[in-house]
Amino acid sequence: MVSGIVVLQATRGTTLSSAWLRVLGTLTGSIIAAAYLSLLRFTAVGMAACIFGTVLLCHAARIPDHARLAALTVAVVMVLSSENPGLSPVVSAALRFVESCIGTALAVLAVLVTPETAERRT
């Protein structure tokens, strides 16, 4: 639900751009958090290092706009995984990614089925 609200913009073009940003940022953050937690235990220092590394990776890959969302996803996956030790970090990351994709897809669908007026095109 939150993903859909965040992605929804005034025009189709900006909504599609925001959707791509959301999906790629969430994917990046989910992969980094799952990889870290599959190898090491959760610690605050480890989470900070993952967030820092995620931001650096996004900038190095020339996708700096995705850094904020990727870092947020790292934090969410890592904290939720630490609170649910019975749930695999990979499953937790996958669930976060799927949830984000569902909300994003609903926002894109809403924009695509709604007629675009001349005012909204600009």
Mean pLDDT of 20-28: 89
Q: Given a cut of 60, is residue 12 above it in pLDDT?
A: yes
Tokens encoding 103: 């909300």
- Under a CB-based contact definition with an 8 Å cutoff, are residues 81 and 33 in contact? yes
Q: In the chain, where are the structural domains located?
A: 15-113
What span, in angstroms and rounded, lies between the C-alpha atoms of 117 and 90? 43
Q: What is the pLDDT of residues 47-104, one digit of tens each?
A: 999 999 999 999 998 888 888 889 999 999 999 999 988 999 999 999 999 998 998 8
- Under a CB-based contact definition with an 8 Å cutoff, are residues 14 and 121 in contact? no
**The pLDDT value given to residue 69:** 87
Q: How far apart are the first and last CA of the chain?
A: 27
What span, in angstroms and rounded, lies between the C-alpha atoms of 116 and 49? 44
Confidence band, pLDDT 50/70/90 cuts, at residue 7: low
Q: What is the pLDDT of residues 30-50, one digit of tens each?
A: 999 999 999 999 999 999 999
- Under a CB-based contact definition with an 8 Å cutoff, are residues 25 and 97 in contact? no
Confidence band, pLDDT 50/70/90 cuts, at residue 16: confident
What span, in angstroms and rounded, lies between the C-alpha atoms of 70 and 84? 21
Output the pTM of the full model: 0.83
